[in-house]
Amino acid sequence: MGNSIDTQVDEMLEKCIFSTPRKSFFLFAGAGSGKTFSLVLLLRKIRDRIGKDLLLQGKNVAVITYTNAATDEIINRLDYSSIFRISTIHSFVWDVIKHYQTDIRSLYCQHLSEEMTTLRKKLNDTKNKTTKTYLSNKEKLNDLNERFEKAKTIERFIYNPNGSNPEYNALKHAEVIKISAQMIKDIPLLQRIIAQKYPILLIDESQDTKKELVDAFFEIQKNFASIFTLGLLGDQKQRIYTDGKENIESIIPAGWEKPIKRMNYRSGRRIIRLANSIGKDIDIHAEQNPREDANDGFVRLFIVKQRDDQNKDEVEKNIRHIMFEQTNDEKWVGEDTDVKSLTLEHMMAVRRLGFAEFFAPFSKVSKYQMTFLQGTVPELEFFTKEVLPIVKSINDGGRQALEILKEYSPLLSRQNKDKPYELYLRCRDAATRLTDFVNGNKTIRVVTEEIIKSQLLKVPDVVKQAYTLKLSELDETVAEDIRAWVEVMDLPISMIHKYDDYVNQKSQFDTHQGVKGLEFDRVMVIIDDSEAKGFLFSYDKLFGVKGLSDADKRNLMEGKETSIERTKRLFYVTCTRAKNALAVVMYTYVPENVKKEAIDKGWFDENEIINI
């Protein structure tokens, strides 16, 4: 069957949808198996065969994706067909529940009340009432109580799936998930409405979909099986978030189809062999086959002895040079280098990219929690969507600068009808000066000052206020977003450009978690537990450098997953991003343990391991 071994999978999915009665299914699809291809192929068949009938009945096919980028990609591949309702889980469930404001208010108040009860008990049980934790919990209780009283007067709750939702009547992302899951499970009428409106619901990356919502959709399928078909697509080996459904295979009803995609169309043979070796302890469906025409693939494990004051940039540059020498691939080095380097945390990446001082203050701002890493903070977009594109356009000799200025500049506003040519010249001169300031890598404060003086653009209020302040002038009453802007005001403007490239995946670096679903010709996986601050993952434990913690042992006794299992899945995700060549770089104080474990597990051969 060669490269067509998965053809029967697509045929089975088609049969599930077009047979009478329809059948729900779970598609097991490992890394590089063409899951999105199969999903889009199935959707096109639905559009062509029953799309018109569904629209005439006022029905849609719902497709839930994990990211906005995935949503946009599938919408584009389906030529923006109105038959489909393609969205992220937050967007989908909010559309489902937003008209039931009384139920939302009731559950919102109930959840706040339960949280306050728990917190009061914690405060009452605390013996030392002078600790920071106690005082923080007390402040949190006051905040919850204030929100509870306000909630009683809210007539309409609002929510933006892609925003920070700072308004007093706006729900937070976690609240929307919790409330919608409970409403769907508790209200049979709502289940029926969903089943009738969306007779086919497909969930991509189902292993990382919020577990309470997976349970809610299973409830609909159980109660309305004759009119509601649920299709889950996913891979347990790639579950990287703790709020996803564990062991989802064990709860799939007996009548469902469970097709398995066996081929990896992405990676070279050696990379697939490594992935199979990592995955076999995670999922019985781990084994994948390479394409008949797959390249050999290339893997190396670099074990770096951890030292104080180590120049990790130089270490990693040297490793890229070794990969160039061993693969004879010039893209590992030089000005045209094309290597995706993966770090465990954002701070590890931004330190290497040289804008950690800029990144850190904003990463702590609660109202930017969702938008900062999406690049959609309005005040930052002032720079990334207006200031920097104007400068780039002028540097490139293009016309985009004029278009941006027509849209955003007060000088070219339609309200300014007097002396239009003079205003145009003034605008042109101001834009030229701005370009000189940015090209000269002046500070954010200096660039902001120039824009304010010239009136070239309307500076956001938060940025304008921060521009007038110094860190020494701040007290505890200053809002956290203003404080963050004050902290970065005297940093070079180039840091905003670096930030913009990073969040839009235009830089060399990304995180282990952030690249799921993506692929690259050359991948360097950087492992350094000493630099990472999180506790959910531990490569030191996975590679035998550290033993199990008490919490790990307790979780094992209780049948729960440990940090080793979470890390193994994450390691699988990172390694399977590589198409042609993979370099795993592990910093450790105990190199001999790492080498022994890597060989004993069958992940790397001895001649594939290099000590640095």
Binding-site annotation, residues for ATP: 29-36
Whole-Å CA distances, 505 to 135, 355, 377: 40, 15, 17
Structure tokens at 347: 């701070």
- Cβ atoms of 35 and 206 within 8 Å: the answer is no
Whole-Å CA distances, 465 to 79, 191, 380: 45, 49, 14
* Residue 377 CB partners (closer than 8 Å, separation 6+): 164, 362, 368, 371
Could you tell me which of 136, 108, 107 has the C-alpha nearest to residue 122? 136
3-class DSSP state of 464: helix
- Cβ atoms of 337 and 320 within 8 Å: the answer is yes
CA separation for the pair 232, 27 (Å, rounded): 6
CA separation for the pair 130, 372 (Å, rounded): 34
Residues in binding site: 29-36
* Residue 135 CB partners (closer than 8 Å, separation 6+): none
Rg (CA), the chain: 27
**Phi, psi (rounded to 5 degrees) for 532:** -80, 145
- Cβ atoms of 493 and 438 within 8 Å: the answer is yes
CA separation for the pair 132, 244 (Å, rounded): 32
CA separation for the pair 516, 421 (Å, rounded): 52
Farthest-apart Cα atoms in the chain, separation: 79
- Cβ atoms of 111 and 178 within 8 Å: the answer is yes
CA separation for the pair 44, 76 (Å, rounded): 12
How do beta strands 229-234 and 263-264 pair?
unpaired
Could you tell me which of 140, 138, 120 has the C-alpha nearest to residue 129? 138
CA separation for the pair 491, 486 (Å, rounded): 10
* DSSP code for 257: B
CA separation for the pair 25, 16 (Å, rounded): 7
> Residues 453, 459, 465, 468: what is their CA dihedral angle, to the nearest 10 degrees?
-30
CA separation for the pair 140, 148 (Å, rounded): 12
* Residue 364 CB partners (closer than 8 Å, separation 6+): 480, 484
3-class DSSP state of 244: strand
